[in-house]
Amino acid sequence: MKAIFRREFKAYFRSPIGFIFLAAFFFYASLMFVFINLNSQTTLMKYFFSNISLIFIFVIPILTMRTFAEEKKSKTDQLLLTAPVKISGIVLGKFFAAVCVLLIAVVATMFYILVLNSYGEPVFSEIFIGYLGLFLMGTFFISIGLFLSSLTQSQVIAAVSTLAIIFFLWFSSSLNFQFSNMMDGAFHWLGVTLDWLIEFLAINNRFTDFTLGVLNFVPVFYFVSLTALFLLLTVRVIEKRRWK
């Protein structure tokens, strides 16, 4: 796994992808910090976290699109699959490489805390909980991107499908679409179940606690468990490919 991690992490900065991701994230985060915190002269960062989380929807698909799709297209995945490395090691190596790039981006914005501290009294516990939520959400998005990249050899399809799923999960709670109102009679239970499922999966609902500086078990479990689920699904997809 270490060899895969080193190879993938270096690959991000041998191509423009890593630099594009970091530049886009830091530029957008800086704009939000200036407009939300500096202009308003507030040390509260809940609106900052709510806004910069949106950039993940667009930049993480770029970060993950090449992970498996590129190797499948160039046929180098055959060398990887025949190597004496566990499939889980391959997946986790690629996952942690992308997570490290994400971590660099998130940690770089912690410079803003020093700026806030220079003219106010920020509540550091709330700020770090916000950063924890941002990081957990980013790792969840990465796991989705890895899974979808493992299903195709087209980087474009991997990126667009990842964007579509993340976009749906983020805004599903805002659609105000009720299946229970459409399904009456014998299928009413199905409509209620679908409404509950959409409400449960809505990322925005889970991320809100972090932006408020509240550390609850449910949102943490939500992000960690779903990240593990998509990583497991990715392992299963790659295992099927190895035995073909």
User: What pLDDT is recorded for position 214?
Assistant: 87
Q: Which amino acid is at 133?
A: G
pTM: 0.89
User: What pLDDT is recorded for position 64?
Assistant: 92
Please return the burial class of 183, using the count of CB atoms within 10 Å of its CB with bins 0-12, 13-18 and 19+.
middle
User: What pLDDT is recorded for position 59?
Assistant: 92
User: What pLDDT is recorded for position 104?
Assistant: 94
Total domain count for the chain? 1
How far, in Å, CA of 24 to CA of 173, rounded? 27
The one-character DSSP state at 75 is: T
Query: Mean pLDDT in each 10-residue stretch from start to end of the chain (244 residues)?
Result: 86 90 92 88 86 89 88 68 76 94 92 83 89 94 94 91 89 63 62 70 83 88 94 89 61
User: What pLDDT is recorded for position 105?
Assistant: 92
The one-character DSSP state at 207 is: H
User: What pLDDT is recorded for position 116?
Assistant: 85
How far, in Å, CA of 104 to CA of 64, rounded? 16
Structural tokens at position 197: 């499922």
How far, in Å, CA of 32 to CA of 240, rounded? 44
Give the H or E element holding residue 116.
helix 111-119
User: What pLDDT is recorded for position 138?
Assistant: 94
Nearest to 213 by CA among 58, 99, 43: 43
Nearest to 156 by CA among 69, 30, 57: 69
Range of the domain at 96: 2-241
Q: How far, in Å, are 39, 136, 200, 223 from residue 44 at the CA level?
A: 12, 20, 27, 24
